[in-house]
Structure 1
């Protein structure tokens, strides 16, 4: 058996993960492609905690996209290395990746490690490590990293807390859909010195002026299908490649949160054409529909209220496929 196929998988606790990490001299932490604040904040928070313990740490994400200024300013960014410079230590940790595929070009680095730890909160994650800490009841992966930091007996510094806050505030939509436990976590992070107002504004409420033109065009082409989802309704829109490529990649992530506000519908979808004919589809629901079932029908996954998948074809073809499934 190779390291890539050797299992069994362990259903782990934060204490189990901490015990494995204590045994390691060096750790590679991998974030998912097109990193968001939860994967990056989780990676940098855990990396700082391990560095405090004297471990050699590298944090990386696949691809050559530069981080937006909002995330590049997170504490611990000095731990980041380019994909080509990744050493690949015997202990590798995947943070916030629902599948191995989300690590893209760094997947081989993960599977080559004898000890492979998965930390995630996506309900669709079935586990792909030798040790899997997967808790869909957690609002974000960063909250699970906080449990590990505590289990490592590392002080919750302002820098570590800030990275955890980044994941928490964004994955809860600025606490709009947070579970009760998240408010207690937020209070603890603020008490550790996090400037909540600054980071909430920087991560959620700051856009370049050009973003407004994109938003205008995207919303102008939104379509309403009131009969979809058994009458619960669907709203969707597309962002063609020429429009998407004119804006910073991270800015496109906020479009789904605008489309989902349509009062008449339960489900919202945004089709983003990353390359001509290749689409990343974001799905959201409000109360009654599990969008992971929709995403899985197209080979994707995610959360009950937030999921996604990839599709190929023309705008008419990929949107028609979703409407046909739901109408």
Structure 2
């Protein structure tokens, strides 16, 4: 819900807030993907080179996924417990709701100014200012527009951060618009090695991942009558597998599950506490999983979303079934 003190801003106003600040904290959502962290780092690099004091962080886990660590060429990422308590400007990127900041959610109220930059259709705006464009394929798209408006140089480190964001949120450009393809071409011209960026994100797994995947897929269940008769496939990742695996390996399970031919919607429940679960949801384009996730306190894209809930897995699954039964059909 939009806070009474929040207001939307356009590109020019967002640039004004960014360029005026001398101290900036940029936050991604918990368990950041390449769009969230890449966007924060790309914008952070530009502001750092303008002379601002910059920190980039996220509420959990303690470190970025291994596949994302090479993006932080200037060492801007700091642990959550080192984030400034009351920054002059807080920039929240690719985050659909303040709850998705986890233990850093309080910074949205302690900061002098909070600017939200996001492309999720479920984001209704929070902070003091918000710049939201659901038409953008990725938050990285919006950040590149901001960098251009700031007159910032899109050098190779910046281009790599942005390209990683595009790869992740467009499913390796399968869901990219012509404008986004053109943007990717521009980043390639800047020197990005597409294979070097993409392989760690999509095509590299340790041998142990195969065992984890086998265990999880053994729990998979297909319910062909759910999701408004379009089919739901779901699986559970228990706490021992979540804590024992790399974050990016755990997050990759949904991309395997969603390939199930008989199901339009896919769900992976990941146990992160005794009674706490985070969820990843995917749609093939016929049902709005962002609406379903929003009904459960989360959000995201129409075809990729998530939420966090406390409770027992069977009860949460029942809530997901009800949310999908009420979710709008697309197209």
Secondary structure of 1:50's match?
helix
Residue 287 of structure 1: SS of its match in structure 2?
A: coil
The answer to whether the Cα contact below 8 Å between 2:28 and 2:36 also exists between their aligned partners in 1 is: yes
Structure 2 counterpart of 1:30, from 5, 27, 32 = 27
Q: What SS does structure 2 have at the residue aligned with 1:78?
A: coil
Report SS of the residue matched to 2:117.
strand
Query: How much does 1:11 deviate?
Result: 2.0
Match of 1:286 in 2: 284
Provide the rounded CA distance (Å) in 2 between the counterparts of 1:224 and 1:234.
Answer: 6
- Aligned partner (choices 6, 11, 23) of residue 9 of structure 1: 6
Matched, 1:60 2:50: no
Counterparts in 2 of 1:114-133, with a 5 A limit?
114-133=112-131
Q: Which residue in 2 is equivalent to 1:157?
A: 155
Relative to 1, partners in 2 of residues 1:112 and 1:325: Cα closer, same or farther, differing over 3 Å? Answer: closer
Q: 1:189 offset after TM fit, Å? A: 0.7
CA contact (8 A) 2:25 2:89 kept: yes
Q: Indicate which of 213, 229, 232 corresponds to 2:230.
A: 232
Q: 1:287 to 1:195 in 2, by over 3 A?
A: same
* Alpha-carbon displacement from aligned partner over 1:287-308 (angstroms, at most 9, x marks no partner): 2111122112222211111111
Of 306-315 and 235-244, deviating more is 306-315
Query: After superposition, where does 1:73-92 map in structure 2 within 5 Å?
Result: 73-87=70-84, 88-92=86-90
Aligned match of 2:301: 303
| In structure 2, distance between residues paired with 1:320 and 1:224 | 14
- Within the candidate set 136, 144, 147, 2:145 is matched to 147
Alpha-carbon offset, residue 76 of structure 1: 3.5
| Unmatched runs of 5 consecutive residues or more in structure 2 | 326-331
Number of matched pairs: 323
Contact 1:47 1:76 in 2 (8 A): no
Structure 2 SS opposite 1:79 = coil
Deviation at 1:115, TM superposition (A): 1.7
- 2:276 and 2:147 mapped to 1: Cα distance? 39
Cα deviation, 1:117-150, whole Å, max 9, x if unaligned, reads: 1001111111112221111111111111111111
Structure 1, unpaired ranges of 5+: none
Q: Report the Cα distance in structure 1 between the residues aligned to 2:3 and 2:21, rounded to whole angstroms.
A: 19
TM-score, scaled to structure 1: 0.93
Distance 1:125 1:6, change over 3 A: closer
| Deviation of 1:179 (Å) | 2.2
What CA distance in whole angstroms lies between the structure 2 residues aligned with 1:316 and 1:19?
48
Deviations 1:123-178, CA, capped at 9 Å, x for gaps: 11111122211111111111111111111101111111111111111111111222
Q: CA contact under 8 A between 2:3 and 2:126: conserved in structure 1?
A: no
d(CA) in 2 for partners of 1:312, 1:64: 18
Give the distance between the partners of 2:245 and 2:65, measured in 1 at CA: 11
**1:104-115 correspondence to structure 2 within 5 Å:** 104-115=102-113
Deviations 1:227-286 (A, max 9, x none): 112321111111111222221122111111111111111111111111222111111111
Alpha-carbon distance in 2 for matches of 1:100, 1:190: 34
Query: How large is the RMSD of aligned CA atoms in angstroms?
Result: 1.8
Q: 2:43 — aligned with what?
A: 46
Q: Is the 8 A contact 1:45 1:76 kept in 2?
A: no
